[in-house]
Structure 1
């Protein structure tokens, strides 16, 4: 959603703050989509008896490629994964991820996650007391996995209320891991060129001090 907004308002230079969280979030969602839980909620929302529904014991399978929910989930998360990288490629200088940008990205992501954690907590507390099962499902949003559901497939520590702590630690480590990998890609790069009807492969190695200076020292000013 954030990437879409910056494209609409022509503020693509802000995309550098969303590259890492968008990539990690999209990869996590695609790796553990939890379609089983979604299909189960869909059955309850429609007031059906899970034991009486055909294939109800195969939750997630009936959300296959013939369902619009399957394609909506796949396309939206695929765009979240691809668009930030695309903006990085077409505007490498404006969208460069430095250590300063990374810290701002971490702060922004944590602030949004913290807000969604308490917002989801308040909404769930209200609907749990006064809402029907269908309303509880409708209002039990799980944005940033900060809802009451959390990441149900990864154990109790990633469920509410521990998800704010466990996921903050996990994503903090992953943010820095991505940044380190990115620096190594800048040090060791490859290039292909077509000359005299021949494709040539070039291996380029830059000085570590130069890359470190570009990503750490200059970004502080």
Structure 2
């Protein structure tokens, strides 16, 4: 989900790389779970997020839809997001102690927070969103350590590919003749990258690139 705002309004004005130090350390969020509440449908999940959830919770995409995730339109594309529950709109994975119950396999959005991504010229850099985390006295930590993701270089390439593929999908939907065709495109993406499970026996990123190549050919053939 993109935000239409000025960088100066939301960041410290710097771009960060993996080896940079950023003031994001929050003492393991002790006593605070503010960023896990009241997020509405903004915690959009990518295919890797769903793969991690399905693998670690030993369930299918359809099972997650029962009470863990929901579907919403994101820039005209149907995508899943984490579900918020109760009057306080707490993340469904937040336990009674206010701790994340899926921390080891949490989604990418949660891993980088309060960092964000700034996309430009077919790539992205990290920014520090200065108004998002209310925890005081944050400390400096290396960006790569903060994100805490295996195969981080592969992960960055995946994130970039997924972002710009969704751009292509949105462009194709703009060219579509009617709502029926637009819905067909969106459901195709949902089925290929989310509903159809990625094999645990194979590398996720290799499978993703195979599906991405197929999807690009299919969309290009139509438009």
Which of the five TM-score ranges fits, normalised by the shorter chain?
A: under 0.3
Q: Which has the larger helix fraction?
A: 1
How does the TM-score come out when normalised to structure 1?
Answer: 0.22
How does the TM-score come out when normalised to structure 2?
Answer: 0.22
Give the structure, 1 or 2, with the largest relative contact order (CA under 8 Å, sep 6 or more): 2
